[in-house]
């Protein structure tokens, strides 16, 4: 007969729960918070990259309908949803990329 088998099982489940929390749930919630902060802090003049790989400068931010207009170059502007922005870039990134070509 096994004595204390139930307690060992509970301890094992708690340990697995903690491992799952620290390696899956916590990092995911941290990434979601960072993305939410990124989207709420978008402003005119920011250089951004979209999840499709487009790099542009924000020319207009509309708070009411969740769209932004970005300039890809001097003559091309596109309207995208804020949700497609994955990163803000340092000022001058677009100019540096154009100078490389």
User: Which structural domain range is residue 59 located in?
Assistant: 4-100
Q: What is the pTM of this model?
A: 0.69
pLDDT tens-digit map of 10-45: 999 999 999 999 999 999 999 999 999 988 888 899
Separation of alpha carbons 101 and 98, rounded Å:
6
Q: Regarding predicted confidence, which is higher, 97 or 80?
A: 80
Domain count along the chain: 1
Query: pLDDT at residue 2 above 60?
Result: no
- The string of DSSP letters for 80-100 reads EEGGGEEEEE-TTHHHHHHHH
Q: Which pLDDT belongs to residue 71?
A: 93
Q: Which pLDDT belongs to residue 58?
A: 93
CATH number of the domain residue 67 falls in: 2.30.30.140
Average pLDDT, integer, range 48-57: 92
């Amino acid at each position: 007969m096994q004595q204390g088998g139930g307690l060992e099982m509970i301890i094992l489940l708690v340990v697995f729960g903690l491992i799952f929390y620290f390696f899956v749930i916590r990092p995911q919630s941290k990434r979601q918070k960072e993305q939410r902060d990124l989207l709420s802090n978008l402003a005119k003049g920011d250089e951004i990259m979209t999840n499709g790989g487009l790099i542009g400068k924000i020319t207009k931010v509309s708070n009411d309908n969740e769209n932004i207009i970005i300039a890809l170059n001097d003559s091309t502007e596109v309207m995208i949803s804020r949700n497609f922005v994955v990163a803000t870039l340092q000022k001058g990134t677009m100019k540096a990329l154009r100078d490389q070509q």
